[in-house]
Amino acid sequence: MISLRAPRSVGATIAALALVLAGCREEPVRTYRTSKETLPPTEMPPAPTAGGELPAGHPPLDGSAAPAPNSGDTAALPPGHPPIGGGAMPAPGAAPASAPDAANDSISWAAPDHWVAKPLGAMRRGSFTAKNTAGEADCSIFVFPAASNPLLANINRWRGQVGLAPLTEAQLAAETTAVENAAGLKFVTVELLGQTGAGSTRVLGAILYRGEEAWFFKLSGPDAVVAAEKPAFLDFLRTVHPANS
Amino acid sequence: MRALLRTLVERLASLRITVVLLVLAMVLVVIATLDQVHLGIWAVQAKYFRSFVVVQQLPGTGVSIPFFPGGYLIGGALLINLLCAQFLRFTLTWRNLGLHFTHFGIILLLVGELLTGLLAVESHLTLDTGDTKNYAEASFERELAVIDVTDPAFDQVWAVPLSRLSRREPIALPGCPLTLLPLQFHENANFFMRRDAPNAPASPATLGFGPAVVVQPAEPTYRPNEENAPTAFVEFRGPDGPVGVMLATLAIERPQTFTAAGRTYAVVLRRTRIYFDFSLSLLEFRHDKYPGTEIPRNFSSRVRLRSAEGAEDRQVRIYMNNPLRHGGYTFYQSGFKNNDRTTILQVVRNPGWLLPYIACVISGLGLLYHFILTLAGFLQRRRATAATTA
């Protein structure tokens, strides 16, 4: 008959080995020499903020790259940076989003006639100023890897930008609306009204998950302006279609 | 001395140890399976099975203690146990040849898994059309690269593994006048522009873009399609004292530079790079569909392979089930993006990849031999019994 009581020496050996091996886990610093890469810049642009220094291609962080107050988002982030506040990163193997190249985007759109196109900046795939008698609002279009941009995190990111509390997964369905356009593209839309430093701010947002891509359409600005632009924004979403169709 | 060695081998060959180890292995599997809810499959694999000791942090403290033998320790002990048993009870006869083969197959299987766990490296190579790279990026490992970019001819790189950043201990860079002192480390974090969070506490960073960014530590994610943004504040110290503090994060994978002791350094937290002695250029990526449909028929990458010394320069087509094997690496067509302009190749290096196949064949042959031998004996006995009865 086999006794299940292990010899004392076995337990002691395993414990000793465990302790020894636990202390031997320090990974060394690897040192090697490589050919010069074009990416690492040796000279940086002067920092716009105290002590700050930005990587090459990084737009200024002082808001000069942001087209309108509270547009927030990723306009001031370097290429490959996920939306701030999202917390998620692209999955392994996912390369950072490249610089804007709207001509090669997988979807196209037609902006309302009274919206004025603006320079795209570092990350935007579309950028417009929506003007009406009440003032101006900013419309931005971004694309990021869908895998690293879950819906809830991004809706909550937008909510945070207008001072609203984050939603839970259970509350999400009640606070969002699904919209499908004639091209068969399905958007999740949200309308948010909150307070920011610029006063009462309204955000109309739409997120389109398409294959590996997550497209973010956002109209934000003073409450009265955005409220008046809501029909135009919804019409705008109806014009979005696959680029090759 | 000989007697002592024999006693030791006898102890190690004990069936009690086998049973204890098998029980430990079963408990390990149960604990690891339960913890998979929190950690996900990859982290569990690393923590429980591909480790010698399972280390657990005591809740509410920063203290980690080893609390259970890991897969390598149990597997290694089983291997020693099996080897000692074989050594002690080894008698070569035709009758037990099959059992020897079977045991040898199991030993090979254990060794194969150990080699795979220790030596196999999985990485990705992402290439835009026209791009050339001589390195892949590890799927799971990250590093803080400190690069001396002063010399116009080459870059000198010190790659610090993230495990070193999680301890607040000075890190010396061999041959470099700088020393690193990690001040903070977060497995995952969210980021805000300081202008969006004016009331946030001041950043410890004094170099690079760190002062303009607010870091908010976040819970690590273990979802298979998400990735953490490991983030650290690291102080650089030169021969004349502190140089400054830099924020390094995978979320902003862009080099930041500073000058110290007359040399210029670039710092970036990135996916661990695995360099080859050859380069691959993507000439064309094809995403063929069946005519008139959106159903994919084939994904393929036409690449140009060039060895560093120029001895080899050829074109290769990589497609599903037709990987490129070169220099000990296997390149599989794994994915694509960017409107079919970018290919993603999975790069695997596993020196022990053949061992499990060989082990299974040897064990299978051993079992088959033993079965045939037993069957023959049984049939012989039955015939003898029948003859006696008749």
pLDDT in tens, B141-177: 899 999 999 998 899 999 999 989 988 899 999 999 9
Provide the 10 A C-beta neighbour count for residue A242.
13
The pLDDT value recorded for residue A69 is: 29
Tell me the C-alpha distance between B254 and A78, whole Å: 8
pLDDT in tens, B286-333: 988 888 887 888 899 999 999 988 788 999 999 988 999 999 899 999
Which residues in chain A have their CB less than 8 angstroms from residue B154's CB? 33-36
Q: Chain B closest CA to A93's CA: distance in Å?
A: 5
Residue A121: pLDDT band by 50, 70, 90 thresholds?
Answer: low
Question: Which residues face B299 on adjacent strands?
Answer: B287
B194 within 8 A of A49, measured Cβ to Cβ: yes
Tell me the C-alpha distance between B49 and B117, whole Å: 9
Tell me the C-alpha distance between B176 and A48, whole Å: 31
The pLDDT value recorded for residue A13 is: 52
The pLDDT value recorded for residue A148 is: 62
Interface membership of A4 toward B (CB under 8 Å): yes
The pLDDT value recorded for residue A128 is: 92
User: Which residue of A18, A62, A76 is in closest CB contact with B66?
Assistant: A18
Strand-strand pairing, B231-238 and B241-249: antiparallel
Alpha carbon of residue B260 to chain centroid: 34
Average pLDDT of span A30-37 = 87
Interface membership of A244 toward B (CB under 8 Å): no
Which residues in chain B have their CB less than 8 angstroms from residue A48's CB? 212
Tell me the C-alpha distance between B14 and B10, whole Å: 6
Q: Chain A closest CA to B368's CA: distance in Å?
A: 29
| Interchain proximity B209–A150, CB inside 8 Å | no
Q: Which residues neighbour B357 within 8 Å (Cβ) at sequence distance 6 or greater?
A: none
pLDDT in tens, B321-341: 899 999 989 999 988 877 788
| Interchain proximity A89–B52, CB inside 8 Å | no
The pLDDT value recorded for residue A169 is: 86
Give the A window 158-217 contacts with B, CB below 8 Å.
161, 212
| Interchain proximity B174–A52, CB inside 8 Å | no
DSSP string, B54-86: EEEEPTTSS-EEEEEE-HHHHHHHHHHHHHHHH
Average pLDDT of span A1-24 = 48
* Beta-carbon pairs below 8 A across chains A and B: 227
Which residues in chain B have their CB less than 8 angstroms from residue A75's CB? none
Q: Which pairs with CB-CB distance under 8 Å and at least 24 residues apart come from B137-140?
A: B137/B270, B137/B271, B137/B272, B137/B273, B137/B274, B138/B271, B138/B272, B138/B273, B138/B274, B139/A92, B139/A93, B139/B271, B140/A92, B140/B42, B140/B46
Report the chain A residue with the minimal C-alpha distance to residue B156.
Answer: A33
Percent of all residues in chain A with a pLDDT value above 90, rounded to a whole number: 28
Of A134, A137, A143, the C-alpha closest to A208 is A143
| Interchain proximity B152–A36, CB inside 8 Å | yes
The pLDDT value recorded for residue B190 is: 84
Q: Chain A closest CA to B97's CA: distance in Å?
A: 26
Of A40, A37, A145, the C-alpha closest to A96 is A145
The pLDDT value recorded for residue A21 is: 52
The pLDDT value recorded for residue B94 is: 84
Beta strands in B250-320 (DSSP E): 256-260, 263-289, 296-307, 313-319
The pLDDT value recorded for residue A16 is: 54
| Interchain proximity A40–B268, CB inside 8 Å | yes
Residue B278 has pLDDT above 90, yes or no: yes
> Mean of the per-residue pLDDT values for chain B?
89
Lowest mean pLDDT among B101-110, B113-122, B147-156, B349-358: B113-122
Q: Chain A closest CA to B279's CA: distance in Å?
A: 12
The pLDDT value recorded for residue A29 is: 93
Q: Is the pTM of this model over 0.90?
A: no
Residue A85 has pLDDT above 60, yes or no: no
DSSP string, B144-156: EEEEE--SSSEEE
| Interchain proximity B157–A32, CB inside 8 Å | yes
Interface membership of A92 toward B (CB under 8 Å): yes
| Interchain proximity B211–A52, CB inside 8 Å | yes
Tell me the C-alpha distance between A160 and A138, whole Å: 18
Provide the 10 A C-beta neighbour count for residue B224.
12
pLDDT in tens, B341-381: 889 999 999 888 889 999 999 999 999 999 999 999 999 99
